Amino acid sequence: MATSYTSLSQRERNPQAFFPNSATHADPCRFVCVYPAYINSKKTRAEGRRVGKSKAIDNPTVNEIGDILENAGLKTIIETNRLYSREESREPQQRGRVRVQLKNPDGSLIKDELKNKDDLLFYLVDMIPKLKTRNANQPHKGKKR
């Protein structure tokens, strides 16, 4: 007779720990992953966007995300050869992810305003448009000399 797994969660079915017992919040396996598609306004929710379309950004890059988070004082690991599973394009500008440490090894938050992945994504959406590289691409509205 086959066992029905419908009432058991994945963690209950799998007796192994989700993370190794020795893994602390400082180990890279415990870092939060951020893909550019999470905040890309040109993606749909089905394609992986996790913020509202009105708040999302046009084509963010892994380097922009990494720069913002490093300037915020977070430990980051940029993995340029990783590809988001929902990404249809295999082009180099669509590749990459950033791993971010949100908690100290003792479990306390590194930055109090960044409690989880959602807070991190909204922080990125606020900060990426302020980058000089983003502002340099936009025409100036001031007087010409």
Instruction: Delineate the domains of the chain, giving CATH numbers in brackets.
Output: 31-132 (3.30.56.30)
CA dihedral 33, 36, 37, 41 (to 10 degrees): 140
> Would you write out the chain's pLDDT as a tens digit for each of its 145 residues?
555 556 666 556 655 556 666 778 888 888 999 999 999 999 999 999 999 999 999 999 999 999 999 999 999 999 998 988 888 877 777 789 999 999 999 989 999 999 999 999 999 999 999 998 888 766 555 545 4
pLDDT score for 4: 55
In this structure, what token pair is assigned to residue 1?
Answer: 């007779």
In this structure, what token pair is assigned to residue 79?
Answer: 């993995």
CA atoms within 13 A on the CB side of 42: 9
